[in-house]
Amino acid sequence: MKLIPFLLLSLALGLHAEPRTVVKIATEGATALVDTNDAPDLKEWGSKAGTLCVEWFPKIAALLPSEGFTAPKEVTLYFDPKMKGVAHAAGGRITISAAFVRTHLNDWGMVVHELTHVVQDYPLGGPGWLVEGIADYIRIVHFEPQAPRPKLDLAKASYKDAYKTAAMFLEWIELHHTAGVVVKLNAALRGGTYQEELWSSLTGKTVDELWALFMKSLQP
């Protein structure tokens, strides 16, 4: 693995902007460009996050395959000192709140969640709860399976809560009802062919029927 600092030159309004030093972390099959220019205190953390990305790029791609699809192999990590919230991914770029990282130095799962969005590469139009659920499924099932799971409110919880709630739902389906469903849902989302009826064709039950069974399984 190579860590290479280099100058990234950008153009603004036709004029050369100030050069930014970006660290390039690369393996044979993946590259991460880490930009901590606006949060220099996070340089070391950013390098670790970049190393994590190049390690997990091929793993996530293998977990979320689809016919004819070649997963991205490069990502840019930018640490935003003004950003509120946590992080978001768009295309091959992950923007991370510097303030969040400073108070959550061990939250590497957040990086894997956002990197999963880069690998998903879905077109617009899929249900957000499922997109986020698959990203957190990769996080909690494959990256940090020993991490504590949230306790769901059986009276109020919904698969549409997304994130870990939807991830736990998907995990239950995989283990107790229909193995391989996440890969098939991923392929449909990536191909722009997802419809809610897909649940019935894949599992023999609607998503609401599956959710009811999942809720029942959690009852004491």
| pLDDT tens-digit readout, 105-115 | 999 999 999 99
Per-residue pLDDT at 213: 98
Per-residue pLDDT at 42: 98
Per-residue pLDDT at 19: 74
Mean pLDDT of 175-181: 97
Q: Where are the domains of the chain?
A: 1-121, 124-220
Per residue in 65-74, pLDDT (tens digit) is: 999 999 999 9
The CATH number assigned to the domain with range 1-121 reads 3.30.2010.30
Per-residue pLDDT at 9: 42
Res. 7: pLDDT tops 90? no
Is the CB of residue 113 less than 8 Å from the CB of residue 136? yes
Per residue in 123-150, pLDDT (tens digit) is: 999 999 999 999 999 999 999 999 999 9
C-alpha–C-alpha distance, residues 92 and 113, integer Å:
14
Q: What is the pTM of this model?
A: 0.91
Res. 24: pLDDT tops 50? yes
Is the CB of residue 94 less than 8 Å from the CB of residue 75? yes
* E strand spans, the chain: 2-8, 11-12, 15-16, 20-26, 31-35, 74-80, 87-90, 93-97
Res. 45: pLDDT tops 80? yes
